[in-house]
Structure 1
Amino acid sequence: MTMTESSSSIESSSSIDAGRVADEPVVELLPTRATYASADPVRIEVRGFTGDGSLTVWTLGERGASTRVPGSGVVDLGLLPVGGHGVELTVAAGGVHAPPVARTAIEVADDVRARLRYGFVADYAPGRDAEAVADMVRRLHLTGIQLYDWAYRHADLVGGGEVYTDALDRPVSLDTVRRLVGAIKAAGSRALGYAAVYGVGRAEWSRWEHAALLTPSGPPYGLGDFLSLVDPAEPAWLDHFTADLAAAVDAVGLDGFHLDQYGYPQRALRADGVVVDVADSFVTLVQAVRERLPESHLVFNNVNDFPTWRTGASPQDAVYIEVWEPHVTLGSLGHVVGRARSAGGGKPVVIAAYQHVYDTAPVAEADLATAFTMATLFSHGATQLLAGDGDRVLVDPYYVRNHRMAASTAAMLRRWYDFLVEHDALLLDPSVVEVTGSYAGAYNDDADVAYGHDRVTGDAIPGAVWRRATRVGDALVLHLVNLVGQRDTLWDAPRLPVGETGPGTLRVRRTGPGRPRVRVADPSTNPRLVEVPVTLDGDHAVAALPAPTVWQVVVIDDGPAGAHP
């Protein structure tokens, strides 16, 4: 029961979000879980639908089974194969080419550690409702939620009783923490508690000053005026820290921990005269936590890429990097991801790129900045820590200083995260290989695109289309990021309106006498792969591509020679 769509479907498919950018949709599809095991039936909650319609599953552009929907409620789609899938709701009388009423995506995976689509929570006030957080987990398919600053003190996680104020005087109720943990788990995600690996507050400092990391002038390194830093691998501290984590698991049911550091120092003198290579100490700490908590999910923060080269291979579940200057351009983000994928050996890569731009620019310009950031990260095989707390995005490393989403931001994130999950095999699979330098360009002449007078380049250059090529199994995948009309490539700066390139021309060398298959998708216009016409020109094939918005994905598949006459 599969079929493909021709280029005539692009126009109808692209209209799915028409009229929905400024307002939340009246009709919504919400998976009951962020991710499903292959042995679990997939269920979709339909909200706000009063007509007669059907849900259709799409897998990388191939149409699957449809299920009737007689109105709002939970629809059982049964068992689906491992991978990412799109789901569309259409009305019964809409016709073959009618645009969907609503869309979502689902992930089926048997390895819960294979992907990390990361979110956050930063509010634990008594009585707080957890429903909005659970809905966001399901809506954005978030497989991990960081519980930021949930603990009593940095060096005493659960010593404050049931209700307390944290180190910066924010109210915390452990009942709220437990309810959030339960809601996150029920939504098919993981709850990871924040824990600083070497920060000690004033009240606890007398116990740990023997392990202090000292500045060259003598005082200990610290954070602000309320934390001082110790060697994370000092034996007594390591025993205390791992025991504190274990106690936190028992107290509130956490699935694991977000292990934080501040990016400094990289080498320092310890109070007892030992010279400490902090990168080595971090690896020792991660190993010790893994031994103490073998089932916990662990994520270590490599601040500004330090020391990814050492911790990437350590026994944790992701390679997570919080980026700062000099990693300020889209191209630098791509390079950071490339190094992380290499160091991690197949672990998921997450980048904490805080979009401060929402605090300084109109929402439309900030949304475009975020779209370019996501286009860069997703196309390079990484995800972004950005959304959380039900309706917030991160604009600051102190997560309490977050930004309430506008409706346009919420709608954009829903589209882009759906796109990420639906096209997971083309984007996040560890086997995806960068091949731009081997395929594109005049010397190679294997695959390239052209847009009239607009420049196409392999680097992130303002005013050009940034073209990259990856190999995914037998398919060649082109990522086209449209920087036409931009004056710079800063990822955390207001963006000008997307430049209009007009349609593109794809030229690809054929493997054999057959006609290659070319499919196109774009999270802003046509969210699932649709086929475009291909003509033959000697040893090459030529396809007309629709004009890109921020990011367009092109999949070129030769298949067996002669399979597409």
Structure 2
Amino acid sequence: MLLPSKASYLPGESVHIDVSPAGHQRRLSVSHLGVEVATTDVPSGVHRLVLPVLPEGGYAVALLDDQHDTQWTAVEILADPVSRLRYGFVASFAPNRDIDAVRSHFRRLHLSGAQFYDWAYRHANLVGPAEYEDPLGQPVSIDTVQRLAGGLRDGGTLPIGYAAVYAVGKDEWPAWEHIALVKPDGTPYALGDFLQLVDPSDPAWLSHFTEDLRAAVRAGGFSGFHLDQYGWPRHAMRTDGRTVDVARAFDTLIQAVRTALPEATLVFNNVNDFPAWVTTASPQNVTYTEVWDPHHTLADLAAVATRSRTLAPTRPAVLAAYQTVYANHPAEVADLTTRFTMATAFSHGATQLLAGESGSVLVDPYYVRNHRALPSTLDMLQRWYDLLVAAGDVLLAPGLSDITRSVVGGLNDEIDVIGPDGITMSHEARPGTVWRRVVDTPHGTVIHLINLTGQEEAGWDTPKTPPPPVTGLRLRARLCTPELPTIRVADPDRSPAFADVPAVREGEHVEADLPPLNVWEVVFLPR
């Protein structure tokens, strides 16, 4: 296995790659969007390599071995790693926990941020004694929190502490019930039977909350905070009769946290997109959306990602789309479902909060109830995350524009992918079709092909039928120069690197036969 020393590197940092020693010489190749930019021999017995200095961007890394299959990984060099946040999670902080497996897993999947879920002593009193039980009885050691935070940071992952922005437990309630958010009958809004909600914009609460966050930075070693809310109420009364517009109250809170912690990475949870129309203008770093019904189809996921990128074009978009299929179906079925979810998110410039711990996936909003993934699932996730990193310059960078309806079909005749008889191409995520989109990027044109043939529905968390590979797809693009353009194709189930495909001239157009389409294929026409 190839394993980078970090999930993400800053410009100028040494990029180290761990390799399994072998008794013969091999070769390491580094490519950027299909162009080899560095190569080095790997002598027998070597177990760590240092790559040459690389410019900012994402790179595919291959260990070429004549005696075995090629091994792959990817590396990213970014001045602002949050700009392409690949979010993971940690949810166990028991005393004396061994953290090495967590660190390796985050490096393997290039997870550049880690949400420390339910690490705190109490929701309204984050920092407690050296060891304690959290409000739901999970053991927590601040030493474990600190070691995880430090170890992940050393591996290029930002440790992000969880903090609910307006939740108060029973022990702290007497001090805050005077600013409770209440229903028309005067009953406080509550989560279950152990948390009540308060006005997040109340000045006294803001003073307490921001000081609590400062103390949490000192106690836990966090680089920032995941600011959580529960998606309701939207408007509410306080016990003193004042009306609270909760969306605007969240903005007030985020501004106060930014003032108190100017250097912190802040991730606010927009539950079902509420209230992204406000918080995308707030001084925080990520457009993060926890997805619930009625967002149940791949098209719904695509719409959320698109809105996120449109409302905040320079910020990363992260979807918390919990794959409950892992808890209810065999791994191979859940893996296929997740591949469609990732294809949709990644092709729309978003990432998915899914993987974390030392090899688990999320199946529930209470992250302690995560699902231990099989090795086959982790191998699949590595392949897909490798491509996400290696192709990050055309998948996640600012400046992406969906131009499908301007160049494909009808009178456009600029770019299209033509299917063989019996295959329907679609602009939309429709069951039984090949979902085809064209995106303009700073590096060139990208065509995304997602294989929904064989599917009778298009839910993002519903079991999928293995799609038959689609053969005979042909790219057709209008030429603007006399030279044949370069055409490259990548498929995460093959490798994270783009490979050239031959093109031929057909009048004013260029045409190229594409490889068989499995789940997702990325076709790239560099400028």
Task: Tell me the TM-score normalised to structure 1 length.
Answer: 0.91
* Match in the other structure for 2:330: 362
Instruction: Name the SS for the 2:518 alignment partner.
Output: coil
The whole-number CA distance in structure 1 between the counterparts of 2:23 and 2:250 is: 55
Q: Residue 89 in 1 paired to residue 57 in 2? A: no
Q: Residue 105 in 1 paired to residue 74 in 2? A: yes
* 1:66 aligned partner, one-letter code: T
| Aligned positions of 1:235-384 closer than 5 A | 235-384=203-352
Shift of the alpha carbon at 1:541?
Answer: 1.2
1:379-399 superposed Cα distances (whole Å, 9 cap, x missing partner) = 000000000001100000000
* 2:119 aligned partner, one-letter code: W
Identity of aligned residues (%): 52
Cα distance change, pair 511–140 in 1 and its aligned pair in 2 (3 A): same
* 1:85 aligned partner, one-letter code: Y
* Match in the other structure for 2:16: 43
* 1:90 aligned partner, one-letter code: L
* 2:111 aligned partner, one-letter code: L
1:109-166 superposed Cα distances (whole Å, 9 cap, x missing partner) = 112332211000000111111111111121111111000000000000013x011000
Q: Residue 195 in 1 paired to residue 157 in 2? A: no
Shift of the alpha carbon at 1:215?
Answer: 1.3
The whole-number CA distance in structure 2 between the counterparts of 1:245 and 1:546 is: 51
Q: Residue 212 in 1 paired to residue 180 in 2? A: yes
Q: Residue 508 in 1 paired to residue 508 in 2? A: no
* 2:5 aligned partner, one-letter code: T
Q: Residue 165 in 1 paired to residue 137 in 2? A: no
The whole-number CA distance in structure 2 between the counterparts of 1:345 and 1:514 is: 34
525-534 or 281-290, which moves further after superposition? 525-534
* Match in the other structure for 1:137: 106
2:84–2:397 contact (8 Å) kept in structure 1: no
1:337–1:377 contact (8 Å) kept in structure 2: yes
Q: Residue 59 in 1 paired to residue 27 in 2? A: no
1:352–1:386 contact (8 Å) kept in structure 2: yes
| Structure 2: gaps of 5 or more residues | none
The whole-number CA distance in structure 1 between the counterparts of 2:330 and 2:469 is: 21
103-112 or 302-311, which moves further after superposition? 103-112
Shift of the alpha carbon at 1:292?
Answer: 0.3
* Match in the other structure for 1:533: 502
The whole-number CA distance in structure 2 between the counterparts of 1:427 and 1:171 is: 40
Instruction: Name the SS for the 1:517 alignment partner.
Output: coil
Matching residue within 67, 70, 73 for 2:47: 73
The whole-number CA distance in structure 1 between the counterparts of 2:158 and 2:482 is: 50
Shift of the alpha carbon at 1:531?
Answer: 1.1
1:302-333 superposed Cα distances (whole Å, 9 cap, x missing partner) = 00100001001211111100000000000110
2:87–2:111 contact (8 Å) kept in structure 1: yes
| Aligned positions of 1:480-491 closer than 5 A | 480-491=449-460
Instruction: Name the SS for the 2:256 alignment partner.
Output: helix
2:271–2:291 contact (8 Å) kept in structure 1: yes
Shift of the alpha carbon at 1:178?
Answer: 0.8
* Match in the other structure for 1:434: 402
* 1:417 aligned partner, one-letter code: Y
Matching residue within 420, 432, 435 for 2:388: 420
509-518 or 305-314, which moves further after superposition? 509-518
The whole-number CA distance in structure 2 between the counterparts of 1:38 and 1:269 is: 50
Matching residue within 403, 414, 421 for 2:371: 403
The whole-number CA distance in structure 2 between the counterparts of 1:45 and 1:474 is: 30
1:249-307 superposed Cα distances (whole Å, 9 cap, x missing partner) = 11121111000000000101111111100000000101100100111111000001000
Cα distance change, pair 482–110 in 1 and its aligned pair in 2 (3 A): same
Shift of the alpha carbon at 1:99?
Answer: 4.6
The whole-number CA distance in structure 2 between the counterparts of 1:274 and 1:364 is: 53
Instruction: Name the SS for the 2:285 alignment partner.
Output: coil
Shift of the alpha carbon at 1:474?
Answer: 5.8
1:43–1:78 contact (8 Å) kept in structure 2: no
Shift of the alpha carbon at 1:89?
Answer: 0.6
1:421-471 superposed Cα distances (whole Å, 9 cap, x missing partner) = 000111001111111110111221111112212100000000000000000
Instruction: Name the SS for the 1:287 alignment partner.
Output: helix
* 1:31 aligned partner, one-letter code: P
Instruction: Name the SS for the 1:553 alignment partner.
Output: strand
1:523-552 superposed Cα distances (whole Å, 9 cap, x missing partner) = 012431111111111111111011111100
The two structures, once aligned, show a CA RMSD in angstroms of 1.2
Shift of the alpha carbon at 1:513?
Answer: 2.6
* 1:128 aligned partner, one-letter code: R
1:486–1:499 contact (8 Å) kept in structure 2: no
Shift of the alpha carbon at 1:514?
Answer: 2.5
The whole-number CA distance in structure 2 between the counterparts of 1:382 and 1:147 is: 21
1:503–1:547 contact (8 Å) kept in structure 2: yes
Task: Tell me the TM-score normalised to structure 2 length.
Answer: 0.98
1:33-70 superposed Cα distances (whole Å, 9 cap, x missing partner) = 11112211211011354432121111111112212222
Cα distance change, pair 486–201 in 1 and its aligned pair in 2 (3 A): same
Q: How many residues align?
A: 525
Q: Residue 33 in 1 paired to residue 6 in 2? A: yes
| Structure 1: gaps of 5 or more residues | 1-27, 560-565
The whole-number CA distance in structure 2 between the counterparts of 1:189 and 1:35 is: 7
